[in-house]
């Protein structure tokens, strides 16, 4: 995808463009990543905003930028520190890809984010949407973006109820014809903002939309049919967690596969009775069940996992510390990345007194 300015028609859909920009300048939200527009801030915010709401991202973004103010500071960090800073955002592959990309940018581009599409698209974790956002917002290059919000706004404007690759190309051509020579990033932000705040998926706020006079979906009263409701099958799970403590330490294990790969947690079982068998098999002696903590539900991708944490105490730690299994002092657990719901379990565990003898 090259930046072919000669094919751009600045007069196409000019009234729609003017109304969108006017609306955006008046209504855009005061977001932290809009205060200092750099390629780095755009990159980090766009990655965080994938699969995550704006409201949820704000505190994570502010904490991240305080710890990692630039690309080089990210490149110097360990993966475990990166994952710990990302804790609570989920989809941890995003954080790993940020670290990989930061190392490449530091080594190959002197710590400066590249401004050529061919270089940007090769970076880990960056696809056409993110590349277009960075290049248009930070470098003012003529690349449209198409995320779920932009796609929904565009489809309603064009009245595209059905959807296939041909329709997607039609929408992309429409966006290419819309994006202006001056401030292309403002156009992209404007249409994304409209999708996030007004042209929302269910019950769009058409009375507040600046583009209704151009919108075929609104004129035909079919806006609620676009994009349609996606059905997703949820898989129910039930997991028993073993919180095994000994001499002021907790046994934790690192995932070695799946979405939570390299994130720490606790030994998991399908039945509570398996926990005692595990402790005996691993060499634990003189152990006792302390009790059960609050059951919690962990939602991720297509799973709904009911977590039942049980606390056990053993007289002495058993087994050896390895790369994927460690006995860690309670005061040091802050240094390890856990899923946010597991961090809540740890907080509850810290309130339990372990002074009673077995």
**Same-fold call for 5-146+161-196 versus 235-349:** no
- Mean pLDDT to the nearest integer, 99-127: 97
Reply yes or no on whether the pLDDT at 353 is more than 90.
no
Task: Tell me the C-alpha distance between 349 and 44, whole Å.
Answer: 33
pLDDT, mean over the chain: 91
pLDDT band at 266 (very low <50, low <70, confident <90, very high): very high
Q: Is the pLDDT of residue 355 over 80?
A: no
Percent residues over pLDDT 70 in the chain: 95
**Average pLDDT for 150-162:** 96
Phi, psi angles (nearest 5°) of residue 200: -80, 165
Distance CA 234, CA 31 (A): 33
Residue 239's φ and ψ, nearest 5 degrees, are -125, 130
Per-residue pLDDT tens for 16-54? 999 999 999 999 999 999 998 899 999 999 999 998 899
Among candidate residues 127, 76, 118, 116, the one with its CA nearest the CA of residue 99: 76
Residues linked to residue 244 through DSSP beta bridges, in sequence order: 312
Strand partners, 107: none
- Return the pLDDT at 14: 85
Give the confidence band of 10 by pLDDT, cuts at 50, 70, 90: very low
- Share of the chain residues as helix, strand and coil, in percent rounded to the nearest 5: 45, 15, 40
271-285: pLDDT as tens digits: 999 999 999 998 877
Residue 230 has what pLDDT? 67
How far apart are alpha carbons 146 and 143 in whole angstroms? 10
Q: Is 103 helix (H, G, I), strand (E, B) or coil?
A: helix
Instruction: Give the least confident one: 178-182, 201-205, 262-266, 320-324.
Output: 320-324
Given a cut of 50, whether residue 358 has pLDDT beyond it is no
The pLDDT score that the predictor gives to residue 229 is 74
Region 287-307 average pLDDT: 89
Are 271 and 240 in contact, with CB atoms under 8 Å apart?
A: yes
Q: What is the pLDDT of residue 83?
A: 95
**In the predicted model, what is the mean pLDDT of residues 174-196?**
94
Instruction: Report the pLDDT averaged over residues 253-280.
Output: 92
The residue with greater pLDDT, 323 or 312, is 312
pLDDT at 357 over 60: no
Q: Which entry of 46, 87, 186, 193 is annotated as an active-site residue? A: 46
Q: For residue range 85-107, what is the model confidence (pLDDT) as tens digits? A: 999 998 899 999 999 999 999 99
170 flagged as catalytic? no
> With 50 as the cut, is the pLDDT of residue 64 above it?
yes
In contact, 181 and 142? CB cutoff 8 Å: yes
Task: Report the CATH architecture of 235-349.
Answer: Alpha-Beta Complex (3.90)
Q: Give 298-314 pLDDT, tens digit per residue.
A: 887 788 899 999 999 99
pLDDT at res. 351: 84
Hey, which CATH number is domain 5-146+161-196, 3.10.129.10, 3.40.50.2300, 2.60.40.1150, 1.10.340.30?
1.10.340.30
Whether 6 shows a pLDDT value over 70: the answer reads: no
Q: Is the pLDDT of residue 1 over 80?
A: no
Q: What are the residue boundaries of the structural domains of the chain, listed by start?
A: 5-146+161-196, 235-349
Of 198 and 353, which is predicted with more confidence? 198
| Res. 109: pLDDT tops 70 | yes
The full length of the chain comes to: 358
């Amino acid at each position: 995808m090259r930046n072919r300015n000669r094919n751009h028609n600045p007069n196409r859909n000019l009234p729609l463009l003017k109304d969108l920009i006017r609306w955006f300048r008046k209504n855009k939200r005061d977001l932290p990543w809009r205060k200092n527009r750099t390629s780095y801030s755009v990159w980090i915010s766009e990655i965080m905003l994938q699969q995550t709401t704006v409201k949820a991202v704000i505190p994570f973004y502010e904490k991240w930028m305080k710890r990692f103010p630039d690309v080089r500071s990210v490149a110097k960090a360990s993966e475990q520190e990166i994952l710990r800073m990302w804790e609570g955002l989920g989809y941890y592959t995003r954080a790993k890809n940020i670290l990989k990309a930061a190392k490449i940018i530091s080594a190959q581009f002197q710590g400066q984010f590249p401004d050529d599409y061919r270089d940007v698209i090769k970076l880990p974790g960056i696809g056409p949407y993110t590349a277009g956002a960075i290049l248009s917002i930070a470098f003012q290059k003529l690349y449209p973006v198409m995320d779920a919000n932009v796609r929904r706004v565009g489809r309603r404007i064009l009245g595209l109820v059905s959807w296939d690759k041909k329709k997607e190309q039609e929408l992309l051509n429409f966006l290419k014809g819309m994006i202006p020579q001056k401030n292309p990033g403002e156009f992209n932000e404007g249409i994304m903002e409209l999708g996030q705040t007004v042209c929302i998926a269910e019950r769009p706020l058409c009375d507040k939309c600046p583009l209704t006079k151009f919108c075929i979906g609104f004129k035909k009263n079919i806006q609620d049919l676009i994009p349609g409701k996606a059905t997703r099958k949820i898989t129910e799970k039930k997991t028993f967690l073993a919180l095994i403590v000994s001499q002021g330490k907790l046994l934790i294990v690192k995932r070695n596969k799946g979405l939570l790969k390299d994130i720490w947690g606790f030994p998991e079982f399908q039945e509570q009775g398996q926990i005692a068998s595990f402790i005996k098999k691993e060499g634990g002696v003189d152990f006792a069940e302390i009790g059960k903590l609050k059951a919690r539900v962990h939602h991720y991708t297509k799973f709904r996992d009911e977590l039942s944490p049980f606390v056990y105490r053993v007289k002495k730690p058993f087994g050896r510390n390895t790369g994927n299994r460690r006995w860690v002092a309670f005061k040091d657990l802050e240094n390890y990345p856990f899923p946010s719901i597991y961090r809540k379990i740890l907080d509850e565990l810290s309130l339990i007194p372990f002074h009673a003898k077995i």
